[in-house]
Structure 1
């Protein structure tokens, strides 16, 4: 898949990457520019099992996936063309360790105009897609799931705070965190 992404990008233009979750607050690559962006036909959802980063095989955690339907606000990062191939390799090591994402080239709408950007999407057919989770299931995952980068709850809070910092409102995440947090305090 990496070779396909490199070929589809082509290397002649700057590389754009769409971030909608932890890439916003922890890109781990150098970039020349960051812009607010919106992609249509996709939405951010805390519906991807994490068996390493935010959970374990025995007690999976959750991370965000980009699922079809709706609209998603995030950010795009511009990587100069001369650094694009190296950055894609870095991204693959981070995002595609278990090859659960389906990388796609999406049009990201920015204040300066549309850009073709790479996004790491999640298929509903993937075994890493959770399907619908009840509030009780989210509560149990938030209470116990932890992996090499910390807990699912910390990940969700950190993403929520960074989205707010970028003036992005995710009502589903806001509602979920408010409900879980208020129940934990009670």
Structure 2
């Protein structure tokens, strides 16, 4: 499981050294600065919308956590992956958000005193491949408060983006892919379990988990 120490030590970035077009620390920091400059007017707190591994392994320190609904985006295994939980011999898919619909997840509010450090860790974790586009998006917290949160959505201009993310296409890839960080299926089933733990549901994830259990029972 990814840890703060792996990012702080540089071990996490070293894992991706063999890949072309790897984002440098300078480019990652520039992306963070640009995102913060575009912070919506009147947004006092900084929330991160967790919809994948941030739900069960947030790794960062936060001040508050609330179930939330993200508006205008939905989960999609639309990013090609051949490292991490996959390999060139067994490519898989990475989770992202695509435009349209909504997604239920968890909003993490960063403490102002440590916000800069925590954002730096999140950016290294999420932006090393440049596969995401950090976006301020509308969310409704479970106490009905409406605010904005940073969501890491699919960067559709990158080579990793795959427009076909339907269950029949994605399931066989996720079912067999595996790499240094574990199996692609393990990621999916951890997400499925995390959604249940928070009392949430995503029909796409439900269907994908069911199909992988059908075609590869040993992965369940």
TM-based fold match above 0.5: yes
Query: What does 1:171-186 align with in structure 2 at a 5 Å threshold?
Result: 171-185=203-217
Query: How many angstroms does 1:136 deviate by?
Result: 5.7
Query: What does 1:30-109 align with in structure 2 at a 5 Å threshold?
Result: 30-109=61-140
Q: Give the unaligned 5+ runs of structure 2.
A: 1-30
Q: Give the unaligned 5+ runs of structure 1.
A: none
User: Does the Cα contact within 8 Å between 1:61 and 1:151 map onto a contact in 2?
Assistant: no
Give SS of 1:85's match: helix
Query: How many angstroms does 1:6 deviate by?
Result: 3.1
Give SS of 1:84's match: helix
User: Does the Cα contact within 8 Å between 1:13 and 1:81 map onto a contact in 2?
Assistant: no
Query: How many angstroms does 1:131 deviate by?
Result: 1.8
With structure 1 as the length reference, what TM-score do the two structures score?
0.89
With structure 2 as the length reference, what TM-score do the two structures score?
0.77
Structure 1 CA distance, aligned partners of 2:123 and 2:87?
21
Q: How many residue pairs are counted as aligned between the two chains? A: 185
Query: What does 1:124-163 align with in structure 2 at a 5 Å threshold?
Result: 124-133=156-165, 137-163=169-195
- Structure 1 stretches of 4+ with a deviation exceeding 6 A read none
The residue that corresponds to 2:34 in the other structure is: 4
Query: How many angstroms does 1:50 deviate by?
Result: 2.4
Structure 1 CA distance, aligned partners of 2:148 and 2:121?
19
Structure 2 CA distance, aligned partners of 1:97 and 1:47?
17
Greater share of strand residues, 1 or 2? 1
Query: How many angstroms does 1:148 deviate by?
Result: 2.3
